[in-house]
Structure 1
Amino acid sequence: MFLIVKIILFYNNFAGNGRARKQKDNILKQFQEAGHEVDIQITPGKEKTSQLVEETAFDGYDGVFAAGGDGTIMEVANGYLKNPAVRKPPFGIIPIGTGNAFIRDLGYSTGQIKEVIANLNPEKTKWVDAGIAQNGELPFYFFNILGIGFVSDVILTAQNFKWLGNFAYTIGIFYRAINLKTVATKLEVDGEIFECDTLFVEVSNTRYTSNFLMAPDAAFDDGILDITVLKKMSTLRLMKSFPKILSGEHIHLSEVKIMQGKDIKIHTITPKVVSPDGELKGQTPITIGVKHKALELFY
């Protein structure tokens, strides 16, 4: 057992389609049984969460934790990085969301709360990168993946069926596949320009997005972002090829282009919604960079 004297836990009651509310007491009990003192803050949602974390005094804490899915982690971590504290305690993740892709790169999966808490060790941390993006709003950080096109459009459609849980994304996939559209895209990566019609552009800091191995060669501590571009293909070929994303085999398709870079600009002939870490945040055009070793993380 490793003792972290005191931590602050930013907790999303609505994570996991509302299941998180029922898990809260048990999670707090697991922390306490492991010898950790916990102060809990219920997140107010979206940008308000980031502001809450940014304005929280970290003095006296040995860890700052986010409990939720990838969207919650993004909001809490954005506030954490913008917090003016001179000394920031390491950051931790409690995976209780519908999607917890980021923590998969740490060797965990959604629901492995007991394992995460059991492994907490103030001497066991690693520095990970963050993507930083700007699309007309204030700059924001993302930690998993940022996309435009098909995947983002699926999320946009699924928003109308949130009451169906994960099945909302299945509806989104089929609806967008039937109504498949490309967009003329100009992509600039480290000064090199590519122009083509795309179905999606995904910029990855980690290997996974949801259960999909979008960027098999990505590493969240290499100071580089991995870019996956899907060019024009038919609806039938898309549906046949879609399972390949589960194993990462999609990168071998002739319609897929793989790149890496540090400075990325995406411009589309018509504005496309942007989805960082599974959330919706503005539209193209967008400029993306990487902050190397942005976050000290418990693992």
Structure 2
Amino acid sequence: MMELKEGFVKGPWGNIATLSCGNPKGEKVLLVHGRLDSAATYIPLLRLLPEKYHYVAFDMPGNGKSDPFPKGTILSRFIGVVVIDLVVKRLGWKEFIYFGHSLGAEQGLFYSAIYPKHIKKAIFLDPGPSLNWCRDVSYPVFFKETYENFYDNCHKYDYEKEYTMEEAIKAVRNNRALNEDQAKLILSRNLIEVGPETYKLSWDRRYKNLATFNAPPEYYYELFTLHAPPSLLVCSMDLKPLFYTKRSITAKLVTTWEEKWKNVKTIWVEGTHDLHFTSANKFIHEVLSFLENPVVKSKI
């Protein structure tokens, strides 16, 4: 197995923790986790990937070992795009391969629209649950459910529950349907000791209520396919009835994508939303083939 190296890059609000491995002179690969997670989510997949690439995963602010954003303000789903941009610039990368899980996939699509051709190829891991938020509601509903809800209850977002180790493991297992070893691996970057046999979770609770653009789906269809990189979508078969029906935002996005480009492929994998963490062995051959094959040019 490749040696995992801890590091960090500086942000205006604090440190962004990184986890890197592979060949520093190899082709660059950025791995971005989803909401309320950390770089630990990619460790099982990294164990299966070839050493010739240079992999860098990082913890979003307020996740894992990264410092949180300053308290007091609501966070947006887009804020991670700013963090990706900062990390990439600090690393000095001009182009790279991108892995994004859930919200990390959504943010990768935003980044690619802003910075064409920086992402050479992308592997989007179960993006459906996140892309489901790429929609609009009436403004009064949007304001009430997002901003009023946050600022009327901001004291709750600052609350930090304390756990014993056993309680923390149980909480993660119940929330993400993991076994004990998997829960311990997730907690390896997300547990902070605050006293004798007492811990808190490092996740910033503000990620539970992220502001959207509240734009119609058509806005996202056009934006995300404007400079779409060659992409492999790895989707959960278990969640297909919930987030991947023909009328779903994800399905319509892929249809628009396929009409404009010739560079997207979708595969289905039996497993939960954490398929990259629990079931990477089920689709690793498709990922390796995608990484090794030449880029397919677009139709236009």
TM range (shorter): 0.3 to 0.5
Q: What TM-score do you get using the length of structure 1 for normalisation?
A: 0.32
Q: What TM-score do you get using the length of structure 2 for normalisation?
A: 0.32
Name the one with the larger helix percent: 2
